[in-house]
Amino acid sequence: MRRVVTTWCLAVTLSVLSGELSAWAEMAVHFIDVGQGGGVFIQKDGKNILYDCGDTFAGPAVADYLAALDVETIHFLVISHAHKDHMGGCIHVLTKSTVKIKRIFHNGSNAKTGTWRKFLKEAGRADEVVVVERDRDENGIQILVAYDSRGARYSKEADNSVLVRLVDGRVRVLLTGDCEATCEKEVSRTSDVQSDVLNVGHHGSDAASSPEFLKKVKPKIAVIQAGAGNQYNHPKQSVLKRLKQAGVTEIYRTDRHGTVVLHSNGTQVTVETEK
């Protein structure tokens, strides 16, 4: 199936995932199907970035995905927050894969879970570990947090999510982890979150994607990472409705489309799906 949608200055094409990157693509964002969890691999300006790795069971699949793309080095591994369905799989990538991790960014969570403690222990395998205290820009890879202006972490770990905003020419992509309404309100107050593509927060939970946040982001394309038949019934119908009301014209879901890959050349976006 193939169709073309024009939104603002972006030409959006949907085709079947070929497993081969478009020759013209300057940035590729791979929303990996990790089941009920989050895991995004980015290729941008010669750098490889991994944003979360799914749950512990997804670690081998993420490692295999990277191996299939001949990825030998991850320049930035960004952990959104300490929930297992986002960072559990990163332990496998750190310990069982051949990929070299250069820098790890995380929120400095004080979570006491065994999975988080194990991750922190294995994070020492990277060349550098950075606790994100405030917004930072790594050459067009913007790392954003909601807690920078209040001097303390939120009581709810989801709201401590580290977000990533990718800037490629006129194309903007926002990755939100489990950022919910409290996080959304603060991060959109302190940072520019406007983006053409939104990785929908908390797998399409009703606690995220508030109308106010969507009004600030102004997305035209939404990608939801959720497991097929998940027990939480993500994404919620209320969220799908809010996305459409906010002007989103294309919604992709890993529970239905499998892995979703976005290619950008700075002005055009092509979206390929596995299914």
Count of C-beta atoms within a 10 Å radius of residue 223:
23
Pairing of strands 136-137, 269-273: unpaired
- What distance in Å separates the CA atoms of residue 135 and residue 38, rounded to the nearest whole number? 21
DSSP bridge pairs for 76: 49, 103
Cβ–Cβ < 8 Å for 254, 52: no
Which domains, from first to last, does the chain contain?
3-17+24-273 (3.60.15.10)
Digit-by-digit pLDDT tens for the chain (275 residues) are 333 333 334 444 444 444 444 444 489 999 999 999 999 999 999 999 999 999 999 999 999 999 999 999 999 999 999 999 999 999 999 999 999 999 999 999 999 999 999 999 999 999 999 999 999 999 889 999 999 766 789 999 999 999 999 999 999 999 999 999 999 999 999 999 999 999 999 999 999 999 999 999 999 999 999 999 999 999 999 999 999 999 999 999 999 999 999 999 999 899 999 99
Which H/E stretch holds residue 164? strand 163-168
Question: From residue 203, how far is each of 86, 228, 236, 253, 259 by CA, in Å?
Answer: 11, 11, 9, 9, 14
Q: What is the pTM of this model?
A: 0.93
How many other CB atoms are there within 10 angstroms of residue 24's CB atom? Answer: 10
